[in-house]
Amino acid sequence: MPRLLAAQAVARTVTKALEAAGAPAPASVAVVLADDHELTGLNRSTMAKDGPTDVLSFPLLPPADFPPHRGQDPATRLRERTPTFVLPPGRRPHLGEIVISVERAIEQATAGRGGQTGDVSWTPAEELRLLVTHGVLHLCGWDHAEPDEEAAMRAQERRLLRA
């Protein structure tokens, strides 16, 4: 699998998105770089969808554990927060995992089907940064199922990618 971004660039991208989403700090997030085969299996087993996808997020905390944001469905704020689990000193709460198909990122970018709208022609590294950002926002309670929340999430992604 080709290396698109240095580990430090991935870590910076994760950190910026966590800060923007109001995640607890310090915290940990796992970023798994995979291929279409792995994402196809995960997409089928977790989302009941056939075929590969570019990124899947597996949050460990509910959206109500993060600050509210523009476009968020108010009903998500009504759910109970996760009971605080006391960690040993120096341990970070783990927020979840993001699994990204590097193969899909490369294909989308080189075919001019990258970006949020699927019509952006940019480098595979830029597409990977978007997918990392997108995945982290999902871990922190952001979604794009409804038009208002999609607009807010896409705007947040654009801000973070410009930073």
Task: Tell me the pLDDT of the chain (163 aa) as tens digits.
Answer: 667 889 999 999 999 999 999 999 899 999 999 999 999 999 999 999 999 999 999 999 888 889 999 888 887 766 666 666 666 777 888 999 999 999 999 999 988 888 877 888 889 999 999 999 999 999 999 999 889 999 999 999 999 999 7
State the DSSP code for 65.
G
State the DSSP code for 115.
T
**Residues across the chain:** 163
Q: Say what the pLDDT of residue 130 is.
A: 96
Q: Cis peptide before 74, with omega less than 30 degrees from 0?
A: no
How far apart CA 51 and CA 135 sit, in angstroms, is 19
Reported pTM? 0.91
SS3 100: strand
The two structure tokens encoding residue 123 = 């480098």
* Architecture in CATH for domain 7-65+91-162: 3-Layer(aba) Sandwich (3.40)
In 3-121, where does DSSP find H-type helix? Answer: 7-21, 36-47, 102-110
